[in-house]
Amino acid sequence: MWKTLVWLQGVRTTPDTIVRKKVTNKFVAPSVLLALLIHTAIVVAVGVSIIFQQDILVGDKDETTTPVSARAVDESDVLAELERMQYEETLERQRQKEQQQQLELALEKQREAERRTQEENERLAQMEAQRLEQEQALREVEEQKRLAQAEIEAAEQQRLEEQRLIEAAEALRLQQEEELRQVEEQKRLAQAEIEAAEQQRLEQQRLTEEAEALRLEQEEVLRQVEEQKRLAQAEIEAAEQQRLEEQRLIKEAEELRLQQEEALREIEDQKRTAQAQIEEAEALRLQQEEELRQVEEQKRLTEAEIEAAQQRLIEEAEAEQLRKQAQIAQLEEQERQTEEENKRLKQEAEAKRLAALEQQRLEEEQKRLEAELRQKELEEKARQARIEEEKRQVALAEKLKQEELARQEQERALARQLQRRAQSEFARFIPQIKQKVEDSWIAQSNSEGRFAILEVEINPTGEVQSVEVYSSSGSLAFDRSVSIAVRKASPLPIPRDPEIFDYFKRFRFEFSGSAR
C-alpha cells in the first residue's frame, strides 16, 4: 500500500508525460482503488452493525435492570429471566463469537487478498521500475542516436561544404591559372620591355660615363695647363725678383767698383808710367805705321794708276801707237822711278820690320805688366767678393726670415679660406661619394649586425690609392666585400679644385650590414 503510494507519489514527481502515459495505458490503479473502496465499505458495515448491536444490548440492559432494581419481586422469574438472559447472552456471545470468527475469517480473507494485492502491486511496481529503467535506457540510446545523427549530418554538411569549397577553389584555381598565364605573358613582355629599357639605360649610362670620363680628362688637361701657366707665372715673377736683386747687386758692385777704381788709380799711375813708355813706343810705332801706311797707300794708288794706265793703254793702244813710243821713254823713266821707289820701300820695310820687332818686344813687356796688374786686380776683386758675399748672406738670411713669416701668415689665411671652401664642397660631394660606394656594394643577406671601418686614400683625380681595414667586422668575407665595393667605386667624385684636395684625400667609410 505505501509502496504503491510512494510509487504513486514517485510517479507524480516524475515528469507529466510519464504520469500521463502511466494513467492512460495501465488498468491496475482503478482496480486497486475499487478493491480498496469495497474493503473499506465492508469494514465500515461490520463496525456499524457491531455498534448498533451493542447499543441495543445496552438499551435492553438499561431497560431490564431498572425494573429489577425497581421491583425485585419474583426471584424465580428473575432467576429464569436471568437464566434466559444469560442463555440469550451466551447465545448472543456465541453468535457474536461466530460473527467475530466470520469477521475474522473475512478479515483474514481480506488480509490475504490485501497481501496478494500488495504482492501483485509490488511485482507490478518492480516491473514498472524495470520498464522505466528500460525506457530511460532506450531514451538515452535514442538521444545518443539523435546526437550522433546530428553529428553525422553536421559532418556531412561540412564535407559537402568542403567539397563545394574545393570545387570552387579548383574552378578558381583554373581561372587563376589562366589569369596567371596571361599575367605571366604580360609580365614576360613587360620584362622584355624593361630589359630593353634597361639595356638602353645602361647604354646611356655608358655613354654618360664615357662623356664624364672625357670631361674629366679634358678638365684634367685644362687643370694641368692652368698649373703650368701658374708655374710659368711664378717663374717669371721669380725671374723678375732675381733681376731686381741683380740690379741691386750691380749697384752695389758699381760702388765697389768705384772704390776699386780708387784703389786702381794708384795702380793706374804705375800703369801710366809704364803706359807713357808704351805710348812713346806706340807713338813711334804709329809714326812708322803711318809712314808705312802712306807708302802702301801710295803703292796702292800707283798700282791703281798703273792699272788705269794699262787700261788706257790697251784702250788707246792702237790710236796712241805713236804717242806710246813717245811715252815709252817717259814710262821707262817712270819705271826707273818706280824701281827706285821700290828699293826705297824695301829699305823702309826693313826698317819697319826692325821697328815691328821692337814694337813686339814692347808689347810683350806691356802684356806682362798688364797680366801682373790683372792678377792684382783679380785678387782684390776676390777679396771684395768674399766680403760682399758675407754681407749678402746675412742680408739674405734676414730677408728669408721675413719672407717666411709673411708666408706663414699668408698660408694661415689661405688655409682658413680653403677650409671654408672645402666645407661648402662637402655638402655637395659627400652624398655623391656615398651614393657611388653604396651602388657598388653587394650586401649579403647574412650581414646584419656586421660593422667594419675602412681607411681610404685617393689621388687628386679621385682614384682610390689604398684601402685599409681600420676596424674589422670579424668576418673576412664581409671585410672583403666592403673593400671591393670601395675599389669598384673608384674614381670617387671629388671637387675639381686642387687647392682643397687635401681635405678630400682621406676617407673613413663605416659599413653597417643590414637585414634584407
> Which residues bind to another protein, rule: CB under 8 A?
162, 173, 176-177, 180, 415, 418-419, 422-423, 426-427, 430-431, 433-434, 437-446, 455, 467, 475-478, 480-485, 487-488, 502-504, 506-512, 514, 516
Shortest Å distance, C-beta 139 to another protein: 25
Select 212 or 335, whichever has its Cβ closest to another protein.
212
Would you call 319 helix, strand, or coil by DSSP? coil
Asked if 457 and 492 count as a contact pair (C-beta separation under 8 A), the reply is: no
Residues with Cβ < 8 Å from 36, sequence gap 6 or more? Answer: none
Select 161 or 240, whichever has its Cβ closest to another protein.
161
Shortest Å distance, C-beta 447 to another protein: 8
Q: Which H/E stretch holds residue 327?
A: helix 321-440
How far, in Å, CA of 217 to CA of 315, rounded? 85
Place of cell 516491473: 127
3-state SS, one letter per residue, for 234-265:
HHHHHHHHHHHHHHHHHHHHHHHHHHHHHHHH
The strand pairing partners of 469, in sequence order, are 454
Dihedral angle over CA of 462, 467, 470, 472, nearest 10: 130
Query: Does the bond joining 491 to the residue before it have cis omega, within 30 degrees of 0?
Result: yes
Shortest Å distance, C-beta 115 to another protein: 58
Select 271 or 513, whichever has its Cβ closest to another protein.
513
Sign of CA dihedral 155, 157, 158, 159: positive
Would you call 308 helix, strand, or coil by DSSP? helix
Shortest Å distance, C-beta 216 to another protein: 18
Phi–psi pair at 121, nearest 5 degrees? -60, -45
Select 173 or 343, whichever has its Cβ closest to another protein.
173
Select 17 or 445, whichever has its Cβ closest to another protein.
445
Shortest Å distance, C-beta 458 to another protein: 10
Q: Look up residue 175 and give its amino acid.
A: Q
Select 75 or 162, whichever has its Cβ closest to another protein.
162
DSSP secondary structure of 43-101: HHHHHHHHHHHHHHHHHHHHHHHHHHHHH---HHHHHHHHHHHHHHHHHHHHHHHHHHH
111 CB neighbour count, 10 Å cutoff: 13
DSSP secondary structure of 365-406: HHHHHHHHHHHHHHHHHHHHHHHHHHHHHHHHHHHHHHHHHH
Shortest Å distance, C-beta 196 to another protein: 19
Phi–psi pair at 447, nearest 5 degrees? -90, 5
Select 51 or 183, whichever has its Cβ closest to another protein.
183
Cell of 253: 758692385
Asked if 465 and 486 count as a contact pair (C-beta separation under 8 A), the reply is: no
Select 48 or 168, whichever has its Cβ closest to another protein.
168
Shortest Å distance, C-beta 146 to another protein: 18
Shortest Å distance, C-beta 503 to another protein: 6
Shortest Å distance, C-beta 9 to another protein: 45
The radius of gyration of the chain from alpha carbons, rounded to an integer in Å, stands at 85
How far, in Å, CA of 156 to CA of 359, rounded? 157
Shortest Å distance, C-beta 233 to another protein: 24
Length of the chain: 516
Select 21 or 421, whichever has its Cβ closest to another protein.
421
Select 355 or 443, whichever has its Cβ closest to another protein.
443
Residues with Cβ < 8 Å from 380, sequence gap 6 or more? Answer: 260, 263
Select 363 or 455, whichever has its Cβ closest to another protein.
455
Shortest Å distance, C-beta 484 to another protein: 5
